[in-house]
Structure 1
Amino acid sequence: MTEHQGNADYEVKLSLQTILTAEQQEILSSEALQFVERLVQRFASRVPQLLSAREERQQKIDAGDLPDFLPDTMNIRNGNWRIQNIPTDLQDRRVEITGPVDRKMVINALNANVKVFMADFEDSFAPAWNEVLDGQRNLRDAVNDNISYTNPDNGKEYALNDDPAVLICRVRGLHLPEKHLLWQGEPIPGSLFDFALYFFLNYKQLLEKGSGPYFYLPKLQAYQEAAWWSDVFSFTEDEFGLQRGTIKATVLIETLPAVFEMDEILYSLKEHIVGLNCGRWDYIFSYIKTLRNHPDRILPDRQVVTMEKPFLNAYSRLLVRTCHHRGAFAMGGMAAFIPSKEPERNAWVLNKIQTDKSLEANNGHDGTWVAHPGLADTARAVFDEALGTRNNQLDISREDDAPITAAELLAPCDGERTEEGMRHNIRVAVQYIEAWITGNGCVPIYGLMEDAATAEISRASIWQWIKHGKSLSNGDVVTNALFEDMLDQEMVVLEQELGSERFQQGQYEEAAVLMSRLTTSDELVNFLTVSGYEYLA
């Protein structure tokens, strides 16, 4: 082991391959590493237990059970309680932009016509070690109003505007490790590392500015996981002498099990939580993954699985009703489109954004997500009109709606499975996997800003079609052999689309091998990013 300078007695050790530069030692200082150690020592051992509980639940669903509201927590759902409070600078979240933590992106996102920037160490980010530390540096510099960037190609300079968006940090999910730091010989949870470093580097300056250490928590599947995070937050506040509830979080409801535990998740985090978010793309992936053994719940082409579909619209409305009943925000989902330089195509994109965001605003959401600054004005106009003089829609209770049932949340989704849809899935997944394993987690592909969630949908859909021997609209039965043939053919298409030079210089063949392994495996692999992490330095 190569120990961090001055840390010979630490049990959290940098791995043998890791040598910190002087700049990295400034970010991962002795004091910061001590805080990481305290968190890991106290909380890391519970993560495998939480992940094991996920697997136990999944085994029951695989055996025929269906997810449902929990009978033993009915008192929480029926109880008369509310979350603690929402800070002033989070009262208006009508448009949020998301993106990875590279320096230029951080500046552009904070300068966009939005209220919040969610800086992402998760689905739109490939967590190679140097990039993780660079990202933490970039956020620290942004918090200290000391961030700038000069494009090395054209000399264009980027700097923060006077009134940047509020910053929220999304940490990695509980399933993702940080292999460069070991505790008792095992990689520590990436989520704890991301949280610890962002908090440690920035909490003082954030509080002095009238803001605070705010986080997005991804991929939760059960209220016990939310309770774990609440313990992490409370311990941290006690360690640094902060009032209870100083740390605030928004939880993404992006797994099917979690939609049945939204009250319980809010309750478990009620001192620290400010809202829930419709993480729609991961939610679709989770629907496939959770119901993988149920042949009557198989989704069609992902392009037709829109928020108008009954199971997704029920999810959106239940989230609004649950959150507003508890005084919490109900955030809408991602618009993955990106602007086009072709006027006709761009008009189509903006129309899609307006339609999508109008549905969310009419359902009562307090705000929404965009992936590109060029869509912020359109999304904001929709919510400006819906909100009027209000900052949010906490007054929209949906209490008069008919109760949303488990059957509605699990409703089968109509639509075709097409050959072109399957081929499109293959091309998107291969291109995204290639980008991810070469260090880029956020990629424009065919007019959409793709992140890990859409690649997950692409490969999981085909896996499920193969498992259940489903037919495409042209009559072809989806088999391993059909998939492998299509994969070979679509690799030729990709080389033509990208050009031979770019194709040969990339890692597309490696991506295809990983795509094949994930799609034809006997068991559905939980996350492609866990497999892909092996490729990252």
Structure 2
Amino acid sequence: MENVDLSDPPAGLESEFHTLLTPEAVHFLTELITAFNDEVDKILWHRTARKVQLDLNNNYPDFLLENTHIRDDPHWKVADVPRRLHNRHVDIGDTAPCQTERFHQALLSSAQGIQVDFDDGNCPTFFNQIKGIFNIYQVVYNNVPGIPPISKAPVLMLRPRAWNMVEHNMLVKGREVPGPLFDFGLLMYHTGKKLHQSESGPFFYLSKVESYLEARLWNQIFVWTEEKLNLPLGSIKATVLIESVLASFEMEEILYELRDHSAGLNCGIWDYSASFVNKFGHRSDFLLPDRSKYVNMEKRFLKSYMDLLVQTCHRRGALATGGMAALLLPQDKQSDEYENVTAAVTRLKVFEINAGVDGFMVYDIGLVAPMQKLFQEHTNGPNQLHVIPSVKITQQDLLVMPAGGVTLFGLKYNVAVGILFIDAWLRGDGHFFFRGKVEDSATAEISRSQVWQWIRHQVKLEDDGSRVTRNMVQCLVQDVELELGDELHLSDLQRKRLHTAAEVFVEVVQKRDFPEFITTYLNSEHVFVSGHF
């Protein structure tokens, strides 16, 4: 096709590739990308310009004066929530659909929904993208024996890549295409009508949205797609993840821009916390303390963000969802550890329920039933839209950093998570298990952000008063690399890959300027287009 350049099919996925990338599908994708390529450029330039303005003037973000009329108008609401989204108590998170077995297990669970993830929990190799989209296609068309029809299974909350990611394997007019348009376009072309006909979608998560202008662009994409596919206006519904401190000041406007297509907003802890380093990490007044000791949803800046999100959503008739429980249940249900994990997750999720959220995610499928029971014990009905926190959240509430310092334990843990995420990425995985938790790009993001910031400000360790320097971190990386090799019983080949990951981690955390997203850095500076390391 003229002006289109596609890579060859990934090895072993020739049939899946040709099923998805038909001439008609490629034509649709090309039209979509051509229509919005320039607009994607503009929002990325707007992000850069906004950051420059904040830095040049040493400004702080605030609620936008020009949008006061939207926030002060009590009358507008988002369109009614579809029937299948009324109850979103427990979704299964970080479900990379290329991992067929886990995807199918999630579909067989009692969860209300599944975060079908091409973003934080997924490594976007061409193999993974094609395999994942094909697996969704098979499920939607009821081609998988033993999997219930899509109208009876948990709803699919499809999460395409965020704006910072590109698809290296497709060029339109000589340019690599935006990753989210590749994912969204193929998913909509092949499954949009079928999902709509079964009242099961199409439903999306939108990651890393930073402003109402980005929400406006997504709304334009939705309208264009609905018209092209002859779907009624408002068929597509999207939950926006508020993962940037800048977006927290524009939540009302984000809902307003997507009011015909909104399924609500989502709050999480680690990407949001990392955004403070991303935007203000060079400023000493935004020094984020040890996350393992001093950062949790009960802290003022995070509690305020969650309260504002719930208040904003419920005032406008939208659902407010919380973050993901990353803890993993031990196999022995009779063990003290099993009880401790269950109690820890319960405490965190009761806190979110009491804040008024309508649902949240868990990674471990074994946590679905007990967390559903928790909702039943603490709430009445399928959601908490009637709960509107009577709080007045100020600029200071959202920007105040928690008190606390830095510990050697926290530094080493961040180093370990950062190295292991890069190691997982090199083998084509977007998440991994470590010391009883699932870790993904969100936890890798906060981990490498903190290490970069602590080097940048030469912070003192609480343990002995020594300063965090580049040399200290380089020595710690060597120690952690050896410890991980022994702890995880790695082979010689695996140790070589871990060493490569450790070298990349050191490279990232000592950059003069903060690399905006670790996934962008790995995808652009360390491109593994085909195969795995």
TM-score by length of 1: 0.93
8 Å Cα contact 2:92/2:114 also seen in 1: yes
In the TM superposition, what whole-angstrom CA distance separates every residue of 1:374-399 from its partner, at most 9, and x where no partner exists?
A: 111222122112222x111000112x
Deviation at 1:506, TM superposition (A): 5.7
Give the secondary-structure state (helix, strand or coil) at the position aligned to 2:171: strand
Identity %: 35
1:519 counterpart letter in structure 2: V
- Which residue does the alignment assign to 2:78? 83
Residue identity in the other structure for 2:398: L
| Aligned position for 1:482 | 472
AA at the equivalent of 2:383: N
8 A contact 1:173–1:218 mirrored in 2: yes
* Cα separation, 2, equivalents of 1:528 and 1:489: 22
Moved more, 163-172 or 504-513: 504-513
Distance in 2 separating the partners of 1:338 and 1:147: 28
Residues 460/212 of structure 1: CA separation in 2 closer, same or farther (3 Å cut): same
- Structure 1: 4+ residue segments shifted above 4 A: 16-20, 158-162
- Out of 496, 506, 512, the residue aligned to residue 516 of structure 1 is 506
Matched, 1:337 2:327: yes
User: Are 2:78 and 2:259, in contact at CA under 8 Å, matched by a contact in 1?
Assistant: yes
Matched, 1:137 2:126: no
C-alpha distance 161-214 of structure 1, shift in aligned 2 (>3 A)? closer
Equivalent pair of 2:96/2:122 in contact (CA under 8 Å): yes
1:96-245 alignment, distance < 5 Å: 96-98=91-93, 99-101=95-97, 102-148=99-145, 159-160=147-148, 163-245=152-234
Structure 2: how far apart are the matches of 1:77 and 1:521? 39
The code of the aligned residue for 2:113 comes to: V
Cα distance in 2 between the residues matched to 1:502 and 1:225: 46
* Partner of residue 398, structure 2: 409
**Residue matched to 1:369:** 361
Q: Contact 2:16/2:134 (CA < 8 Å) preserved in 1?
A: no
Query: Partner amino acid for 1:422?
Result: L
After superposition, the C-alpha distances for 1:403-453 in whole angstroms (9 at most, x for unaligned) are 100101111112231011101111111111100121011211111111101
Are positions 1:69 and 2:69 aligned together?
Answer: no
| Deviation readout 1:359-378 (Å, 9 max, x if unpaired) | 11101110111111011122
Report what 2:385 is aligned to.
394
CA 1:482/1:329 → structure 2, altered by over 3 Å: closer, same or farther?
same
Looking at structure 1, the residues matched to 196 and 490 of structure 2 have their Cα atoms a distance apart, in angstroms, of 52
Partner of 1:151: none
**Superposition deviation, residue 204 in structure 1:** 2.3
Deviation at 1:145, TM superposition (A): 2.2
Tell me by how many angstroms 1:280 deviates: 2.0
> What is the deviation of 1:210?
2.2
Please say which of residues 219-228 and 414-423 is displaced more in the overlay.
Answer: 414-423
Q: 2:302 aligns with which of 305, 308, 312?
A: 312
User: Is residue 210–residue 246 contact of structure 2 (8 Å, CA) maintained in 1?
Assistant: yes
Q: Report deviation, 1:184.
A: 1.8
Report deviation, 1:18.
6.9
Report the number of matched residues. Answer: 517
Taking the aligned partners of 1:351 and 1:479, their CA distance within structure 2 comes to: 38
Q: Tell me, what secondary structure is at the counterpart of 2:491?
A: helix
Q: Distance in 2 between matches of 1:506 and 1:161?
A: 45
Q: Which moved more, 1:191-200 or 1:411-420?
A: 411-420
Query: 2:125·2:528 contact (CA, 8 Å) conserved in 1?
Result: no
Structure 2 unaligned residues grouped into runs of 5+: none
- Give yes or no for contact 1:138–1:147 (8 Å, CA) kept in 2: no
For residue 127 of structure 1, give the secondary structure of its aligned residue in structure 2: coil
CA distance in 2, matches of 1:137, 1:15: 17
CA distance in structure 2 between the partners assigned to 1:408 and 1:536 by the alignment: 43
SS in 2 for 1:531: helix
2:236 matched residue in structure 1: 247
Deviation at 1:52, TM superposition (A): 1.3
Give the structure 2 partner of residue 452 of structure 1.
441
Partners of 2:242 and 2:455 in 1: CA distance? 28
Corresponding position of 2:346: 354
**42-51 vs 334-343, greater mean Cα deviation:** 334-343
Q: SS of 1:333's equivalent?
A: strand
Aligned-pair distance for 1:228?
A: 0.4
Correspondence list, 1:32-47, <5 A: 32-47=25-40
Worse-superposed segment, 203-212 or 163-172: 203-212
Residues 213 and 246 of structure 1 are in contact (CA less than 8 Å); yes or no, is this contact kept in structure 2? yes
- 1:59 paired to 2:52: yes
AA aligned opposite 2:231: L
Partner of 2:24: 31
Q: Is 1:267–2:256 an aligned residue pair?
A: yes
Q: What's the CA shift for 1:503? A: 5.9
Query: Structure 1 residue 500: deviation in Å?
Result: 4.2
In the alignment, the residues of structure 2 paired with residue 183 and residue 194 of structure 1 have an alpha-carbon distance, to the nearest angstrom, of 15
1:297–1:413 contact (8 Å) kept in structure 2: no
Deviations along 1:456-487, one digit per CA (max 9) or x if unpaired, are: 11111010011111111121111111111111
Q: Which residue in the other structure is 1:4 paired with?
A: none
Partner of 2:430: 441
Partner-residue secondary structure (3-state), 1:507: helix
State the alpha-carbon separation in 1 of the partners of residues 519 and 473 from structure 2. 21
Distance 1:500 1:191, change over 3 A: closer
Counterpart residue number, 2:88? 93
Select between 371-380 and 38-47 the one with higher mean Cα deviation: 371-380
Alignment correspondent of 1:294: 283
* 1:320-348 Cα distance to aligned partner (Å, 9 max, x none): 00000010000011111111135112211
Structure 1 regions of 5+ residues with no counterpart? 1-6, 149-157
Residue identity in the other structure for 1:100: A
Contact 1:314 1:409 survives alignment (8 Å): yes
Question: d(CA) in 1 for partners of 2:20 and 2:162?
Answer: 22
Give the drift of 1:83: 0.5
Q: Equivalent residue of 1:212, what SS?
A: coil
- Cα deviation for residue 274 of structure 1 reads 1.3
Which has the higher mean CA deviation after the structures are superposed, 295-304 or 175-184? 295-304
> CA, structure 1 residues 69+312, in 2 after alignment: closer, same or farther (shift >3 Å)?
same
Report deviation, 1:169: 0.4
- The alignment's TM-score, normalised by the length of structure 2, stands at 0.94
SS at match of 2:80: coil
AA at the equivalent of 1:323: C
